[in-house]
Amino acid sequence: TRTPVNVTVTGAAGQIGYALLFRIASGHLLGADVPVRLRLLEIPQGLKAAEGTAMELDDCAFPLLQGIEITDDPNAGFDGANVALLVGARPRTKGMERGDLLEANGGIFKPQGKAINDHAADDIKVLVVGNPANTNALIAQAAAPDVPAERFTAMTRLDHNRALSQLAKKTGAQVSDIKKLTIWGNHSATQYPDIFHAEIAGKNAAEVVSDEQWLADDFIPTVAKRGAAIIEARGASSAASAANAAIDHVHDWVNGTAEGDWTSMGIPSDGSYGVPEGLISSFPVTTENGTYKIVQGLEINDFSRARIDASVQELAEERDAVRALGLI
């Protein structure tokens, strides 16, 4: 039998946590033969609700679930963690400036980064879901100098999956026919979903679509603003699809992408495609044996270049803002 993997989830009592924990415990995160031990990290006000969720996890009698611990202490929460899903964050409230938002999140992600640095397992993999995800990942990474920088990633997989679905709808294809789509940049309204290298049943997606106006005025804004559209329709944020994307992100990171395809992850830039080194930006990546590689050699046309640059510019501004606040 395999040794259990320790998975820590922050914000475990929240909406995404509720949609996420059951799928981790049922084997969708790591594999149907990998036992897991869950750590739920919450703030004191969230502990009671987390206990309720843990009661339900017990009641599922998941064969793979080998234990649940609940804590409000990051040092205990990340002790021995192999995978950390940082979901809990401070949302933007009315009238809040970006500086205030970044500072409030710095108060969460800096101590969590330090606790990961001091207590997590050597093979720790971190996915930041809580927004602003890319910059929160940067803050946590900066607080964890002993952990290899590339272990800190940010979630753009929900954007990737949304783009797949919109493209399938437009072309009448199945999502399973679409390969090599890319989200570039920040998980924000400036993100750039790129179909110029995507393939639909082996044909170039941009040529199949052959409608640049649809790309610019429909596809890109629909993907980028999908979160707001869900809130408008559902009266609540997109928790289940976000949880699903977190599962996909870690699953592919650990288990590898399919031959002839890639996925999108927010990862520390190595300078590829003109993205300044160190920014946590979304790239096309392939994964194998628990490591990822940026897909190299893609030709970037002017349409794409302008949009990638704009999103990367926003990331650079967020980095400069958290640097000025002393958070990195």
Chain-centroid distance, C-alpha 297: 24
What is the rounded CA–CA span in Å between residue 137 and residue 116?
Answer: 12
Sign, CA torsion 151/154/159/165: positive
Least separation, in Å, of the C-beta of 96 and ligand NAI? 13
Q: Which of 28, 119, 160, 187 is catalytic?
A: 187
Least separation, in Å, of the C-beta of 188 and ligand NAI? 9
**Beta-bridge partner residues of 9:** 40, 85
- For residues 302 and 194, the answer to whether their CB atoms sit within 8 Å is no
Chain-centroid distance, C-alpha 39: 19
Mark residues 194-213: x for contact with ligand NAI by CB under 6 A, - for none: --------------------
Residue 115 binds to ligand NAI (criterion: CB under 6 A): no
Looking at residue 47, the DSSP 8-state letter turns out to be: H
187 catalytic, yes or no? yes
- Tell me: is residue 305 an annotated ligand-binding position: no
Residue 13 binds to ligand NAI (criterion: CB under 6 A): yes
Residue 181 binds to ligand NAI (criterion: CB under 6 A): no
Which whole-number Å values give the CA distances from 49 to 130, 174, 205, in the listed order?
A: 19, 39, 45
Instruction: Return the residue matching tokens 């990367």.
Output: 312
- Tell me: is residue 98 an annotated ligand-binding position: yes
Mark residues 65-94: x for contact with ligand NAI by CB under 6 A, - for none: ----------------------xxx-x---
- Tell me: is residue 130 an annotated ligand-binding position: yes
Omega within 30 of 0 (cis) for the link into 63: no
Task: Tell me which of 161, 238, 281, 287 binds ligand NAI, using CB under 6 A.
Answer: 238
Which whole-number Å values give the CA distances from 318 to 37, 156, 312, in the listed order?
A: 35, 17, 10
Task: Tell me which of 129, 178, 250, 275 binds ligand NAI, using CB under 6 A.
Answer: 129
Binding residues for NAD(+): 11-17, 105, 112, 129-131
Active site residues: 187
Report the interface residues with ligand NAI, using CB under 6 A: 10-11, 13-17, 41-43, 46, 87-89, 91, 108, 129-131, 133, 155, 158, 187, 237-239, 242
